[in-house]
Amino acid sequence: MSRFMVTETGIAGLRVVQRRRLGDERGFLSRLFCAGELAPAGWDKPVAQINHTWTQRRGTVRGLHFQRPPHAEMKLVTCLRGAVWDVGLDLRSGSPTFLQWRAVELSADNGCALLIPEGCAHGFQALTDDCELLYLHSAPYAAQAEGGLSALDPALGIGWPLPIALRSERDLRHPEVMPDFTGLDVNS
């Protein structure tokens, strides 16, 4: 029996992964990752990097971040403490859902993760104070391939659920989508 229930979001490869918890009066055990069990959901590479973030303030928005090919990466994002509204944005050239986004609440209580495929940007808003996220990446960070888009770009129409309390200086400098942007070619 798989420890994961996978739900499609309508964007190819962007999936919600619900963990099945085994518990009793002592607490629970939750499998965070299993390559064999997540392969059918699209995770087909080794884990190359694991990152842990802490976001202090409710309403803070981080993102939208991505890595350009040939350093494109998959991410599996899990909330260990608090709750976030997690967003995946399709930036893949030729995709039928190009520039569309989906969001899901990830929380320490619901045991959900978001699997974000190569060619998609990621961002989130903290729904509570003191949020901690764990990220599994299929490729190591490459500074020269770093990209970002404005989380407030009206062309994207992301309806953040809370008033935005804080964004980093770096994220404030991310551009809006240019009309001539044709997407990321993750198949090259």
Please give the radius of gyration of the chain, using alpha carbons only, rounded to the nearest integer.
16
Which helix (H) or strand (E) segment is 52 a member of?
Answer: strand 49-55
Distance between terminal CA atoms of the chain? 36
Catalytic residue among 71, 122, 135, 141: 135
- Tokens 């965070």 appear where? 32
Quick one: which of 2, 4, 1 has its CA closest to 112? 4
Residue 141 annotated among the catalytic residues of the structure: no
Quick one: which of 83, 81, 97, 100 has its CA closest to 158? 100
Catalytic residue among 52, 65, 122, 174: 65
CA angle 56, 60, 65 (to 5 degrees): 110
Residue 65 annotated among the catalytic residues of the structure: yes
Q: Which residues are catalytic?
A: 65, 135
